[in-house]
Structure 1
Amino acid sequence: MEIPKTMPYTKGTQIEVAKLEDDSIIAWLPAVVAKTIWKNNLLVEYTVSNRDGIALSEEIVNAKHVRPCPPHASTISFHITDEVEAFQGDGWWLGVITEVHPELRYTFKSAHSGEEVQLDQKLLRLQYDWVDGQWKQASQNVSKVKFTRGVKVEVSSDDEGFRGAWFEGTIIKSVDGKFVVEYATLKDEDEISPLTEPVEARHIRPSPPHIPVMNGFKLLDEVDAFCNDGWWVGVISKVISNQRYTVYFRPWKEEMEFEHEQLRLHCDWMGGRWMRASPK
C-alpha cells in the first residue's frame, strides 16, 4: 500500500491497526491516534481489557498498517463460506462462516488458529478492504439470491396508496423475465382466493430474517409495522408497555398503536445482504 504524502490520520482519529503474523494480517485492532510522528509513523492507543478492568496501551505503528474504522452498517444475514471478521478479545479476527444456526447465530472458523466457535450475529461483520480511499467488499462475499419456485419473498409496489409497504408472498414461477407471486394476505377479486400476479425483480426481496427482541422495543427504534395486509416502516414514538407501542409514520405524519407481535425491527436489503443501521 502506497503511503500518501499527507498524513491522513490526526490526533483523536478512531482507526484500526493490522495485527500481523508472517507479514499476513490476522486481525484488526481498534485504536485511537495519540500523535503523528515523522516518517509516516503514528503513536496509537489501544483499549485493553485485563484483570483490573480496562487500561490503555500505546504503540508506534506505520501508517501503511492502519485503516479507518469500517462503516457502521451491520450485516444481519451471513452465509456459509462468507469471509468475515469476528470480535474476540480486543480485536476483529479474520475467518470464515462454516455453519448457520437459528436465532442469528453462526459458527466462525478462525483463519489464524483454525478453531471454531459459535457466535452471535452482533459479533460478526463482513470482510472489507480499504483500497484507494474506498471500502470494497470481497467479491466472494457478494450474495446472489435466486428467486425460484416456492421461495418466500416480499413485494413492493409503485401503485398509489401502496408505496412504502412490503407484502408477503411466494414465488410460483418465472415468466418473460418476471416472477409470478402468490400473496399471503392480499386477495383476488373474489375476496377469497390469494392474489397472484407477475412482478418485476426490482420489486422483490427475500423474506427478512427473524430478529429476536427480548426486552421490548425502545423509543426511536426503526420498525416495520403490520397493517393493511403489509409491512410499513415507522419509528417507535412512545412505549406504552413492553407489549404495546405507538408508531409514527413519517410519510403521513400519523401515529398508530400496535402490539409487540405486530412489529419487527426494520432492516434494508442492500447489495444482496440484509443490513441494519448501527445504534450509533
Structure 2
Amino acid sequence: MRGTCIIRSPPPPAASRRRSMAHPRFRAGAEVEITSPIHRLRGTLFPGRIVAPSRRKPNSFLVEYRTLVAPSDACRPSRPYREEVPVGLLRPAPPAEAEAGPGPGPGGRGFRLGDAVDAFLNGGWWEGAITKELKNARFMVYFRCVKREYRFDAAELRLHREWVNGNWAPPFEDEGEDGDDDDGDGEEVTSTMGEKSGDVFRIAKGVFTKGALVEVRSDEDGLQGAWFAATIINKVAKNRFFIEYQTLRAEDNSSEYLREQVAASHMRPYPPETFVIDPYERNASVDALYNEGWWEGTVERVLDRMQYRVYFKGTEDRMVCHHSELRLHQDWVNGKWVMPS
C-alpha cells in the first residue's frame, strides 16, 4: 500500500475467499464442532469439517458432519451429511487432551465429582455434570436437558469448555515445555501496542496461551500497521512466542503457512466478531481486509452497491472496498476491546 492511488476491489469470484479470510479459524478442511440448530438437540456439539464458505448466505459455511449420515436409498449410497450453517453455530475443534479417569494422569488432572463435562453420545458431545464416581474409571453423568443420568467410561468424557473470543475457557493446561512460566497457564506481558497514545497496556493473564488465535502486527517495509491472524504454537522465551499465520504462506505457491517467532508486544488477542448489516457511515473507523491482513482506515466516501472509499492515514493510500471486506475498528486497551467513540 504505497503511493496515493485507488485500487479497485477484485472481481466477485474472490467473494468466498474474502469470507474465509474474515474467519481464519474456518478455512476449508478445518476441523470444527457444530452446534445443532434443531431444538431438541440444542447444545449438542457434533464433530465436522469446513467444506467451503457459503455462496448464498453471508457469514455461513458448508460443513460436513463426521458422525451424521445423509439419508440414502438404493440409487444413492450413504454419505456424510452436509448443510450450510451460520458462523455463530461453529467453533474450532478443541485440542485433544488425555484425561485419566479418577486420578491424575499424563494429560493433567482426572475427572472429579461435580465436574462439568461433555459426554459423547449418539454422535455428538452433550453437556452434563459428574454425579458419581464408579469403579474402573466409570462415571454417572447427569444431563439437565433431559433430566436423566447415564453411565460413561472416562474415554467417552472430556472437561466442558466454552469458546470465548478466540480462547478456550477454562484454558487448556500447558505441558510445561513452552517456556519458563511457573504455572504454565499463559503469559502475562507488558505490551506497547498503544504507542499512538503513548499508553502501555498490560495483557490479561491467560490470553496468550498455546493454541490461542491472535493477531500479529508487522513492522516490515510496506506492511506497517497491518494485523495478520495467527495461532500460538508455543512459548519460546519470556515475552516471545512461536506462531503460525492463518493467511500468510511460507513461500509463493506453498501449501504450508508461515511460522516465525514474534515478540508479545507485536501481538494482541483476535478481536470478537462484529457483524454490521447496515451500511457504514462516512468517517467511520474501520479495518479493511487487503493482502491477507487487516489495515486501519476511515470511510471517506460511501459508494453504490455496498462499496466504500477508505482512506489509510498511515500510508496516505485510498482504496475502494466492498462491505464484506470491512470490519469495525477496535483497540485492545487495558485487557478490553474498545471501539472509537
Q: Aligning the two structures, in what range does the TM-score lie when normalised by the shorter sequence?
A: 0.3 to 0.5
Q: Which has the higher strand share?
A: 1
Could you state the TM-score of these two structures normalised by the residue count of structure 2?
0.39
Could you state the TM-score of these two structures normalised by the residue count of structure 1?
0.47
